[in-house]
Structure formats: C-alpha cells, structure tokens
Structure 1
Amino acid sequence: MSTSKLASFIVKFRFLLFALSLLFYAWGAIQLPKMVFDGDFTSMFPKDDPYLEELEKIDETYLQSRNLIILVQPPNKDMYSRESLELIQKITEEAWKLPYSIRVDSLTNYQHAEVDGDNFFVGNLINEPATLTKDALRKIESIIESDINIMGRLISDSGQVSVIIVSLALPDVGPMTLETLQTSTAASELLDAANDLRDIFVKQYPGVVIHFTGEPALEQGLLDVSISDMMTLSPAMSLVVIVLIWIFLRSLVAVISVLAVLSITQVIAFGIALQLGYYMNPVTVLAPMLIMVLAIADSVHILSQYIIHLREGKEKPQAMEAAIDKNFSPVLLTSITTGIGLLALNFGDSPYFADMGTISAIGVFVAFIITFTVIPTIALFIPMKLKREALFLTPLLLQLARWVVKNNKVIFWVSIVTSLTLISFIPATELNDDLDGLLDESVEVQKSVRFAHKHLGGFRYILYSFESGEPGGVNEPAYLHHIDSFANWLRQQPEVSSISSYIEILKSLNKAMHNNDSAYYTVPNNRMLAAQYMALYEMSLPVGSDLSQVINNNRSSLRITVNLNHADNKAIIALEQRAGDWMNIHMKELYATPTSGTLMFAHFSMNSIYGMIDGSLLALAFITIVLIVGLKSIRYGLLSIVPNLAPAAIVYGIWSMVLGEVNQAAAFTFCLSLGLIVDDTVHMLSKYLYAKREGKNTEDAIYYAFTSSGTALIVTTLALAAGMFLMTLSLYTPTGTMGMMMALIILTAILFDFIFLPTLLMRFDRQTEESKNIHEAEQTVEDSPSTELC
C-alpha cells in the first residue's frame, strides 16, 4: 500500500483507530499499579557477573550482614577526651536498639585482650569513660594507635572522627510496589530510627556531627532519588513541551494533540514494560521523559506539515492526508533508527541502562502508532482558525538556506577543519568512573560519603576468602604466614588504608600471652597453640560477638577485608591485578579471587564503556543500512554517516578537552545519541530527495528541505534539548551527565544538519549534475544531424 492510500485510510477510519488507542490506554492504566521499584544495590550489575557470584559465595560462607556506618565527630574534635569517649559509648548503646541491629562495633566496645599473670582477659577497651584519668586516657590512646585493627577503621588518623559499625539482619524484601513504598521499607524504617537517634544527640551535644553511610543508606538514597526524579522531572518536561509547541506552532489544537499522544504513549508503553517484567530504578524512571521527548518529534512533524497545508488553502482532511503522506516514511525511518540506538544500550553491562533502552524503544514504537491514530482525530475534530501565512520561522529558515548555499565552500571547509580539530582530542580521553559519585551532593548519603572521604578515606573495600583445604586449617602456621605476608604487602600499597582480619587478632593474642613483647607480634608457629588461642578468645567474647564474619563454621577458610583510600576505578583494578600477580608468585596454591561491591562496580563500569563502543559501532552500521533501504539510495545512506556520527564525536572531543575523561554514562550517551540525532538527518534528506525527484535542482531542493521540515526540526530539537537539560537536574549523577552530553549533541546535530549537510549535498550532487549535463550535451551532439561543408 502506498503512503497516499495509507494516509487516506487513516483519515477515513480515524475514529475507529482513536477508539482502539483509548482501549489500549485503558489496558495500560490498569497495569500501572503493578509498577515495581528495585533499590537493591546489586541490581545494577549483571546476574552473571563473576564478582557478584564470588560475593554471593562469601555471603554463604560467612555470617552475612549489612552494615550501617555511623560517623561521629565530637564537638571538641578530640576522640581521646572523656567527653568524646562518653558520647561514643552512649551512641553505641543506643545503636543496639536500632531496628534489625544484631551487633555494634565501636571504639568503646572494641574487644581488647590482656594478660595479667596467669589470667587472660578479653573485654571492652573502654568501660567507664567519665572516670578515666589522664594516665588512663594516654594508655588508651597508645593502645589505639598501635592496633592496626582500630586505626583507620574505628577512628580516623587525626583522632577527630570515630566510626560505629552497626551490623544488620535486614529482611530481603526484593523489589517494592507503590503500595509498599507508600507505607515503609526496612531500610527506611532503619534510617528513620537512625535520624531520630541523631536528633537526640545533636540536642544533647551541640556542635556534634553525625553522618550515616553504608549499603542500606545508599540503597535508600537510590530509591529516594528514583521517586524524586519521577515525580518532578516528567511534569516539568510536560510544561516545557506545552510552552515550546505554543510558541512555534501557535495552535491550541497542536498542544492538545501532542499532550494526548504523550499521555497515551507513556501509559501503553509502561503497561507493556510492566507486563514484560521490567522494574523501576534510578535510570529507568527517566524512561517516561525520554519517551515523551521522542514522541514529540513524531507529533510535531505531522502537525507542522498539517498547518503548512492548511495555510496553503487545503481543506482539513486533504491537509491531514498530505501531512501523513509526506511524513509517514520519514517518521517510520526515524522510529526504527531511534529504536536501534536505544536497543543497542543492551550491549553494555549495566542492566539499569539496558532496561531504560528497551523500555524507551517500546515507547518509540508505541509513539509511532499512536501519532497516526490519535492526531488525525483530534486535529480534524477541534475547530482551528489559521491565518494564511507561513509559520513565522519559515522566512528565517529560507534566509538561512540561501546564506548557506551562497557561502557553501567556506562553510564546508571551516566545518571540516573545526570538526576534525575538536575530534582529535578524543584519543586522549581517559575511561573512568567513580562509585562514590553516583548521587548528587545535595543527597544526604552523598554528604556522608564526602565526609568519610575527608576524614577516613572512605569505606571502599575488597574482600578475599582464603581456603585452607581442610577443617581447622585456618590454624595451620604455613597458611597463616602466607596470608599475613600478603596482608603486609597490601599495607604498603598506596590505595590501601588498612587491613581487617583475624590474623591481627591472633598476633595480638600471641603478643599478650608473651608479656606484651613486641617480638611475639607474629603468627604462632604451632597449630595447636593457634587453635587454643582461637578457642580462648571466642569463649571470652561477650554475647553478640564472635568470629563468624571472618572465619567459616568448620574453620577451613578465613576472610580478610582490604580497606581502600579514595581511589578511582582504574586504580582499584590496577591494585587487584598487582595483588593477583603477587599471589601467583608467593602463594599460588592459596590464590583467592577478590570481590566486593567496590570491585564489582569498577569492572562493570569499564566493561560497560568498552561494550558500548562495540554497541555504538554496530548500531551505526544497522542505522546506515536502514537509511539506505528507507531512502532508496546507497549514496545518500552512506552520506548520512557524516551528520549522524560527527555531532557526537565533536561533543566528545570538547568533553575530553575540558574534563579529560568519560564515565559509563557518557559511554551510553554515544549509543543513545545515534538513535536521536538521526531524526534531523532523515527528515532533511527525505524532503531533499522528495524535491529532487520532483525535478528541482540542488539549490531549490535544499530550500524546500529547510522550509518544509525546518520548523518541525527546530521545535523537536529544542524539546529534546530542553528534556535533556532537565535530566541534568536528576539527583542520580550518571543521568545528569547523560542529559548534559545528550543536550549538547542534539544542539550540535541541528547545527550540523542546517549548516554542514547542505554544503555536503552541494559538493556531491553538483558534481553529479555537471556530469549529467555534460553527458546530455554530448548525447545531443551525437544525435544531431551532421552537415557537410561545401
């Protein structure tokens, strides 16, 4: 069926098609209450991530707990004073009362071992802070500063900040429905109680600073950000759309039509996504806004062309049929190419971005259908009075087109030189990312993270679980010596702040048993003695304290925690590789695979970046093939590569020149941009080719492309750019980065299509026209009757 017949069919049966759209809209609305939010930190990683699998194995081997970290800076900023230690003791006691708390570790209840004659004692390092003498305080300070299990873990090196670690037994609630979120979650219940605790102590101790961090705080922060973005950014985008359409199209019908398309599209798209099992997360909550700006493009192209035909004097049904006829193929092409770009996000390792890409792709194809089933009904039903004059941008666009044609040679070469210069900065770009930079500085948990970085170097860590190969093997001296040597090597690495392990406890016990002689701060050389120390230590621990977090049940393996300074992903991966090399050389038989959320994020981020490079190239290839088929021209399909690829490359060059590095969000942006900026190229080329096939020369075809599609391209570009700039307000920083880069790419793309693409067409098509004219002239000479000279 030709597009003209299809247009007639759509206009003729518009009420039926509109009714079907409303039916699907109702179906989608029924699905919305099933919307589920997933705030689990591990959900941002692929299920087959080897580091995630290793982490799950460690969780099964040792007592699994999640920690709420309480950071305390006393008013006097001196943790070695009576008042400060008393404050820590009181907070420690109250922390036991927090929901889901199963253990609390702090400076005051740290289990310190001492030997007095034949008596062995393990107990709280500090019991009655208020009664401590100056000598006692100095002794405590000396013990703390000499114990590597305390320094950097429970107290900052400056002695100004203390750490209280609350181990939790949080229920595994999984993804949460809207109904669950409206009541309470385990994490929110915990943090509400923690905030109440903070309020109490802030009143009692004016000037005290208390922060909360840890996985529950981060997950709740991610969940809060998701809901905040969904509730604020989409309504703001709707307002922007209304304003832009009214300014440029000056039509209430256009505003109503577009809003109807956006509403119906979003509801149906999310109904489908929910049926397919997709969850909401900090990235997918932005899919509604992305669907909105993508759906605008289809609607505006139809409506602007419809208004143009009305102002030319056509009747409303004929004007709508003409608008559909001219735009159906270009809109179909842009929907397919945009869908390809969005689906290519699945090449990255991030389920968050992959889900957003898939949900948005669903929205793009729904928007394509809804545009042609809803707009004709509304536009033809509501009366619209228009003056018979061109859209106010049309004369300006014609002037621009003439200027470009007149100065095409200068514009072409200036564009080439400028573009290549900016793109040349890309090879110097560093690929990097930062786990601690996921949330905006205004988010409470992010403030806590920055505070921790400033005073303690942060709470990033790497876990190692070493198998001895036999029950009770953790007491084998050779095994212990190997791990101790590895821990000592790790302490010398610049990325490492401290090591937490049972071996340090064992060495302290050995030293205490030998009259605190420092020469005995080493691993016992007798397996039986090491086992006795372990048994003696465990029997002396108070209720709620044991070794199950660092040693497994049959005493065949132990876990060490490598606490890190603030380091970027590249540095963390480099440390992991150096540690692996060291183990292969010095303890190959005990080699252990490291894991942790920190390490998972580092690898996942870098893998996503490289994966998206492959995805982008594949998406570009598919988009080019689609354009070759859609435009029915290999020549113009290949020419489209330049305006499709150059804008993103230029912005990445500028980004590299200014910032020097890109993260995973920037990598996903490149792939996403391919699907969006093709819209401009497709409409310019399709209108240009339409005019050429109607017999116009190159210059006139360019003028036609500007005047017939220019207004719609400007409106959609501004709507897309405005939507992307709104995304920079997201409290999830990868989304903000993506929004900023996308806005810059979209604006660069429209400039490229208006300024450079016409000069590119003139260079190639003029040569073709000249060759054709020469060939026709030669053919005319050959076919003309010859005459003989007399």
Structure 2
Amino acid sequence: MGTLPDTYLQRAFRLWADFSYRYAIWVIVTTGLIMVAMILSMANLTMDTSVEARLHKDDPIRQHFDTFQAHFGSDDVILVSVNADNGVDKDAIANIAALQQLLESTEPYVHEITSTMNARYTYGVDGELIVEELLEDYPQVGFKQRWPQETLEDYLLASPNYYNRLISAQGNALALIVELQTQVKDPVSGQFVAIDQDKKDEAVRAIRSQLNSFSERTNTRTVLAGNPVIQETLNRLILSDTGLTTGLAFTLTLLFLFVFFRRVSGMLIPLAVINGSLIVAIGMMALTGTPYTLTMGSLPAILVAIGVADSVHILSLFYRYYTDYGMKKEAVLNAVSVSAPAVLLTSLTTGAGFLSFVAADLASITDLGVFTAIAVFTALMLSVTLIPALLAVSRIKPVNQNLRALQWVNTLTNACVRLSIEHARVISAVAVVALVGGVWHATQLRFSDDILAVFPPDAPIVSDQLRYDADYHGAGNFEVLIDSGVDNGVLKPEFLQKLERLSDALTHTHIAGVDFDTPYSVLNIIKETHKALNENDPTAYVIPDQADLIAQELLIFEISNGDDLLDVVDSDFRYARLTLKMTYADGVVYHEVLGEIDKLLISEFGENSAVVTGLTALLGESIPRALSSMLKSYAIALVTIIILMGIMMKSLRIGLVSMIPNLLPIVLVMNVMVFVDWPLDQTTISVGAIALGLVVDDTLHYLFHFKQAYQNRNSVARSAMISVRDCGPALLITTIIYSSASFGNVVSSIKSFQMFGTTLALITVLALLIDLLVTPALLVVMFGGKEKRRREVDEDEKPERYRSMSVSD
C-alpha cells in the first residue's frame, strides 16, 4: 500500500495515528470535553471595537490617554442635535427641555447632559459673581422673561463657549451633549466597576429608542452622532455579519467538500477540525480576557481555510489507499504518515507567519496573530489525532475508483506544469520582472482610516455623523494635556499667556484638510469670570495680570460652580486641558495634523510638557503604527519562512527561490487594489501577511512531494510532473475552499470585510496558478538544462498513466 514510512517523522506520525485509531472513543470523548469547556468559557468573551483597544496598554500613547482620563474623565460623548428651523424660539426650547428630561431617564448609564437648558451663564451684579443655568427655573420662568434685552439665540451665537457647540453655526439646530457614566454599581457584588463596551452599547440603544420615539411624536428631525454611536453600530454589524459570513463560508466549504469527495465523512470530518480550531481560538480569547475587535472579523474565514487544508490532504490519501487496497486501518495509518509531515511543515510556516504579528505596535494586530497561530496548531493536532479516531468509528466502505472523476483536474494541472517546464527560462524571467515591477507599483497604494467608510453609504450613522459635523463645524476633538510642572502652575499668568498664544494659533486654523474651531480651556472660565466681576465690561474679557487675582477669582467661581472648573484643570491646578474641536476627516491625515500641533506645543511649552491625546488622536496614530507593524511583520515572516523552508528542503537556495511564487500573488493583488482604488485600512492592511501564511502551504506541499520524487529519480522535470500528480487535486480543493470561504465576506455589510474577503480570495486563486506555472519553471532553471528537460518530459509520458484520486462512493 504505497510507500511505507521511511523517515523518523513519518514513523512517529504512524505510531500517533495508531494510538488514536485504537483508542478512538477515548480520543473523541476527551476532545469533546475540551470543546465543551471552551464553549462554556465563551460566555466571558467581550467585544471592543474602540480606538484605544487597538493599542497595547503599555504603549506611551495609550498611557497619555489613560492619564488624561484619570484627570478629566472620558472625552467619549454622545451627540444629539434637534432641528430648530425657526431659530431659538419657544418651540425649540420646549423640544430641548422635553428631550433632555427624556434622555436623563436613561439610567443608570447617563452621567450628565449639557444643553441650552443647563449651560453655564456667568455674569456679575454689583460686584457679585453669579453662575447659574441659562434657563434656570424653566418652564416656571419663560426664556423670554429671562432674556428681556437680548434673545437667547443672539447670546448663544456670540458666546465662544456655545457657538458651534450647543447651537449650530446657522442657528437652525440645538445640541445636547450626553456624557456616560465611567463606573456603574454591580448588582451582584455591590461594587462600582468600570462601564464596559456592552454597557455603552446598551446606553446608545436606549438613547436611540428614546430619540426615535420623540421624533415620531413631535415630528422633529433629530441627529444621533458621536464615537459611542459609531462603536455601537459597528459592534452590531460585526455580530450580525460574522454569523452570516461564517455560515456562508461553512456552507460553501461543505458543498465543495461533497462535490470533490462525494462522501458524508468527507464533509463532516473537516467540519469537526474547522469547528474545533475555531472554538479553541475564541475560547482562549475569552479565558485570557482578550476582546473581539474589528481586526478579528477576518478570523472565521481564515480558520475555515486552515482547518480544511489539513483535513483534505489526509483524507484524499486515505480515500485513495482505502479504495485501492480495502484495508481501513492501514489506509488511515499510511495516509497520516505520508501527509502529516507536510501538514506539520505547513502548520509551522503558517503559524510562524501569524506569530510574526507579535512584533506589531498595535494590540489588535498582535492578538489576531497570536490566536490565529493557536488555531493553526490546534487544527494540526486535531488533524493527526481526531481524524484517525473519527475514521475508526465511521462506517466507510471502499468503492471502485472512478478514473475519470477528476481527469479534468489532472489534465489541467499537468498541462500547466508541462508548459512551465518547456518555457522555464521565459516564465521565470517574467515572474521575476513582474515581482520587481509589481513591488514598485504597489507603493502607490493609498492608506485610509475612515471609520464611516466601513458602513453602507445609506447607514443612518453615516448621514447623522456628517450632518452633525457640517452643522456644528466638527463632531470630534483633539484633547491637549498640558503639565505646568508644579501645583498651582496653571494659575501663573505666564503659563496662561502661553496657553492663549497656542489657542489663538489654532483658532479657525486649517491643517491638512481639517478645520479647527475656537479651542476651549480654563481661559474661557478665567476671562468670563474676570469680565463678570468687572461690571460685565466686554473689554475685561482678558487674563488678569496677577497670579493672586487669578486664584482669587477662580476661587469665587469654584464656590459657585466647581464641576465646570474640574473639566478643564485638575484639583491641584497642575494639569490643564485644551479641547480642539475639529471637522471630520479620514483618520490617515490626523498623523500629519498631530505633527503640526506638536510643533506649536513644543514652541510654547517645550519638550514633554504637553501631549495631544483623546480618541481622535489615538485614531491618528493607528494607521502609521499599523503600517510600520505590518512592514515589520512581513520582514519577520519572510525571514522565518525562508529559514524554515530552507531547513525543511535542506537547501537555503530553494527557500529563497520559493518566496517568488509566494510573494507574487500578493504583489499582483496589491496592484489590482491600486487600479480599483481600494485603500489599505485597519482590516485589509493585514491581508498580505495573512495571505503569505496561507499561500506558502501550497508551495510547501508541492516542494515536499517534489523533493521526495527528486531524491528517488534524480530528474527535475519528472519530479515536477509526479509532484503535481500527487498533490495537484488536493491543492485545487483547498484553493477552491480557501477562495470561497474568503469570498463569503462579500455579503458583509462592512465594506472593509468585503475588500478583505475579495483580496484574499484573489490571492489564493493566483497562488495556485503561480505554483503550477512558475514554481516548476524556477526548479528547472535551478537544476536542469533545456535539452535534458525536453528528453525527460518525453520519456515521462511513455511508461506511465496518471492516476486520479477517488472522489466517489
């Protein structure tokens, strides 16, 4: 029955398979118990698509953000806008009052709502400072009675505190800014715990429900925007789409497995390996407290491809041996011993490719690499352990081999290899030129981190976010955290003057397509307090010259309204907060904007005294870090795979040359992305490294069989033909399943998932074609001459007929 194991590795795998076969029930039960434990652990799995989840907790940028939050809380707010076509009249105020009361009932997650109703109004009366709400005692006191000399609309539009913040630039919309709780009381333990993403999502859904009900009842147009709303929408789509795309991937996988094997066992056994690897990977995420992020959305399709690949190579040989000789156990042991070494080698190279992500600067990419590698090695263990056990207990009958079942596969693959051998030098030269030219052209790929672009164009979050951004001249902020160096340092006039110069430099500034509005800081409070205490004289809206006077006036303000003061300075008056309101843009430009702001900060406060932070700043740092991370991962993966291939093939030269067919499909698809203007984003930026881990499998299987044939016959062309005859059908099956599982993402409503699935599917299809057309040519160029090639091909066709793998019952 075929060739008996002749290497230590093959003998070891035969013994392992024999153990699994003899103790099949115990193996199946033990595996099942492990899977049940992993499934139970999934109850603790969390989802986090927030910007900060992309970064490692010890990243300096993340630490600056954590420091900012420790002093000033989260800048993550929900933005609500209410239409006011007739300006700030009694109907608009009534709507705002009713809506604020409605939203404040959204317990326990809403912390504070700021609107026209309760915004700060500071003024002086006979030298006394008065700080109260704009519409205090409403509706008992109507706003027209409270503002007899000027309308509220005029005041809001003229106030730097509220223009483009609580009232739109055109005065036709009023806003409510909803801050969520940072902690909530656990009903079980009674302890206060940090509010997680699930609770934020729950709050967003409750506010959306209240808002929809209000709009229908009052026939008022409302807008719901802000980062929490974006995250909730994204989480909801990921949950629904993951089930859809994974289900489609499984359906297509089962369909093609049945078409090729035409056996129930040929469908269910690979399915067990796929499910097992997926369950272990997600279970380990839950056990380690690792959240499911946007980057993880590609995980199910990858695991389907990996699990199927290992299973198909073992099962294809088993069915062939069992059909030929009728001895089930021997067929299982021989199939495992012959194919498992190649499966092991591909698992090592694929796992190494994904483990290269560990060096990434972004936590989301690191996590994807770690848990995909876990799934790769789980699939390996299940393939060599669970498959023999399942085959042992399955009722499978040998059938007459259908020699024509996959004759078209043999004809196609053999024709490709013959063409490659006959024109080896030309094909090799074209491949090298295409690789070099493709790498150069791929540098024109553009990068993007436009979070709204991942949603369907007609999604409410897209129109609402852009509408709010247009009405209020920005829906996002940069937060600047400034360390004065000493307690009470913020009260010094020289510090405040530096802060004022910085604010003036950034007011209505345009940088890289981003427009800035008037900044907000402690300066606003100091100036309005000084003005109020100087008989409301507009010329007194300045910074006092004396530190003692500043401290005295702020003390008076703090007694009246301490909460607002702690929004812009810490309790020791050492740290100051400067909020830079800005228009929406593709996150990729934020890195340039941050660079320009850093220059201004250094010019005023020196090195390391001020940092730009906040969620938008984290977004701006993500793409450059993702790019550097992936370049680093590509380099590590390439070197690791070359070394592993060289060790496995006992030739570093083969390892180096094998990178040409592995890199070429990736480079070609990147050029397609340039042509159709598909950008690299947080999801698609990892497709190259993921594809490299997958496509190297086909090359390694081909080279593994080539090596065995070459050692036996010492003929390059003949070995190339025998190699494709032995592994060609399995490579075709895995490629079709790879591409169909990946292409299942096309039905996703998230655009980046669609692009990821399409590009990965194209790469896997091209990888097979290149392995059939380019890899044999490269081997012939390395080992043989033209005359010898022709003679070997001619002689090879005379004595043998190509045998086909059995695919029918």
Specify the TM-score bucket, using the shorter chain as the normaliser. 0.7 to 0.9
Closer, same or farther: CA 190–3 of 1 in aligned 2, 3 Å: closer
> Take 1:696 and 1:172, find their aligned partners in 2: how far apart are those partners?
73
After superposition, the C-alpha distances for 1:334-390 in whole angstroms (9 at most, x for unaligned) are 100010011111121222232222122112112112112232343453223534223
2:36 corresponds to which residue? 29
Contact 1:612–1:667 (CA<8 Å) still a contact in 2? yes
Q: Report how far residue 224 of structure 1 moved.
A: 3.5
Matched, 1:60 2:58: no
Contact 2:297–2:753 (CA<8 Å) still a contact in 1? no
Contact 2:527–2:540 (CA<8 Å) still a contact in 1? yes
Q: What are the ranges of 5 or more consecutive residues in structure 1 without an aligned counterpart?
A: 775-790
Over the aligned positions, Cα root-mean-square deviation in angstroms equals 3.5
> Take 2:578 and 2:180, find their aligned partners in 1: how far apart are those partners?
19
Closer, same or farther: CA 467–395 of 1 in aligned 2, 3 Å: closer
Which runs of structure 2 are paired with 1:357-376 in the superposition (5 Å)? 357-376=369-388
Contact 2:706–2:720 (CA<8 Å) still a contact in 1? yes
2:798 corresponds to which residue? none
1:749 corresponds to which residue? 767
1:683 corresponds to which residue? 701
2:627 equivalent among 603, 606, 609: 609
Secondary structure of 2:736's aligned partner: helix
Look up the equivalent residue of 1:642 and give its one-letter code: I
Closer, same or farther: CA 479–265 of 1 in aligned 2, 3 Å: closer
Which runs of structure 2 are paired with 1:20-419 in the superposition (5 Å)? 20-35=27-42, 36-40=44-48, 41=50, 42-62=52-72, 64-65=73-74, 67-74=76-83, 77-99=85-107, 100-115=109-124, 120-126=129-135, 132=144, 139-171=151-183, 186-215=199-228, 217-221=229-233, 223-271=235-283, 274-275=286-287, 278-284=290-296, 287-312=299-324, 315-379=327-391, 381-390=394-403, 392-406=405-419, 408-409=422-423, 411-412=427-428, 414-419=430-435
Contact 2:225–2:468 (CA<8 Å) still a contact in 1? no
Closer, same or farther: CA 588–205 of 1 in aligned 2, 3 Å: same
Secondary structure of 1:571's aligned partner: helix
2:547 equivalent among 527, 532, 535: 527
Which runs of structure 2 are paired with 1:643-658 in the superposition (5 Å)? 643-658=661-676
2:651 corresponds to which residue? 633
Contact 1:311–1:390 (CA<8 Å) still a contact in 2? no
1:782 corresponds to which residue? none
Q: Report how far residue 88 of structure 1 moved.
A: 1.7
After superposition, the C-alpha distances for 1:648-677 in whole angstroms (9 at most, x for unaligned) are 122222223432742343332222222111
Matched, 1:479 2:488: no
Matched, 1:460 2:473: no
> Take 1:273 and 1:529, find their aligned partners in 2: how far apart are those partners?
56
2:599 equivalent among 563, 571, 581: 581
2:686 equivalent among 668, 673, 685: 668
Closer, same or farther: CA 30–378 of 1 in aligned 2, 3 Å: closer
Closer, same or farther: CA 59–558 of 1 in aligned 2, 3 Å: same
1:506 equivalent among 522, 526, 531: 526
Secondary structure of 1:155's aligned partner: coil
Look up the equivalent residue of 1:197 and give its one-letter code: Q
Closer, same or farther: CA 589–32 of 1 in aligned 2, 3 Å: closer
> Take 2:208 and 2:764, find their aligned partners in 1: how far apart are those partners?
43
Secondary structure of 1:524's aligned partner: coil
Q: Report how far residue 245 of structure 1 moved.
A: 0.4
Secondary structure of 1:425's aligned partner: helix
After superposition, the C-alpha distances for 1:154-186 in whole angstroms (9 at most, x for unaligned) are 233233433211223232699x9xxx9xx9953
Contact 2:153–2:171 (CA<8 Å) still a contact in 1? no
Secondary structure of 2:730's aligned partner: helix
Matched, 1:619 2:625: no
Contact 2:120–2:133 (CA<8 Å) still a contact in 1? yes
> Take 1:361 and 1:18, find their aligned partners in 2: how far apart are those partners?
28
2:800 corresponds to which residue? none
Closer, same or farther: CA 622–4 of 1 in aligned 2, 3 Å: closer
Contact 1:308–1:391 (CA<8 Å) still a contact in 2? no
Contact 2:476–2:616 (CA<8 Å) still a contact in 1? yes
> Take 1:141 and 1:270, find their aligned partners in 2: how far apart are those partners?
54
Closer, same or farther: CA 533–587 of 1 in aligned 2, 3 Å: same
Closer, same or farther: CA 5–551 of 1 in aligned 2, 3 Å: closer
Per the normalisation by structure 2, the TM-score is: 0.85
> Take 1:470 and 1:638, find their aligned partners in 2: how far apart are those partners?
58
Q: Report how far residue 47 of structure 1 moved.
A: 0.8
Closer, same or farther: CA 378–442 of 1 in aligned 2, 3 Å: farther
Identity %: 21
Look up the equivalent residue of 1:54 and give its one-letter code: H
Look up the equivalent residue of 2:56 and give its one-letter code: P
Contact 1:313–1:388 (CA<8 Å) still a contact in 2? no
> Take 1:566 and 1:398, find their aligned partners in 2: how far apart are those partners?
56
After superposition, the C-alpha distances for 1:405-448 in whole angstroms (9 at most, x for unaligned) are 24753655555555544433122334443355566667765564
Contact 1:334–1:682 (CA<8 Å) still a contact in 2? yes
Contact 2:82–2:96 (CA<8 Å) still a contact in 1? no
After superposition, the C-alpha distances for 1:138-160 in whole angstroms (9 at most, x for unaligned) are 73333222222222222332334
Matched, 1:9 2:22: no
